[in-house]
Amino acid sequence: GIDCHCQYCIPTGAMSMNIFRLCGDMSHVFSIIVLLLRLRVAKNASGISVRTHELFLVVFVTRYLDLFTTFYSLYNSCMKVLYIATTASIIYMIRFSEPICSTYDKAQ
């Protein structure tokens, strides 16, 4: 059950937030933002592997299936949704968004 001991309502026994996890999450979010901005500003997908991002999406979706069964914290749920949604949007932009998709090198 959830015994609210902090502002994030972390369940008893759940992994608590620490500075290393926060720094790791923020560096991941920063890298996603940089990639999305690069795609939007440069309107170019050269040098980016869509297959790698598709594999990331498979990993995130399977890894975060507990999103529908277990609530750990609002922070945790938001980060999981953010990772899945942004990775899916990167794939969409590379595969279907003009003029980006026409610059994608399928050999990559």
Q: Which two tokens stand for residue 58?
A: 């498979």
State how far Cα 92 lies from the chain centre. 14
Give 12-60 pLDDT, tens digit per residue.
Answer: 445 567 899 999 999 999 999 999 999 999 999 999 999 999 999 999 9
List, in order, residues 6 or more apart from 94 with CB less than 8 Å away: 39, 45, 48, 50, 53, 100, 101, 104
pTM score above 0.85: no
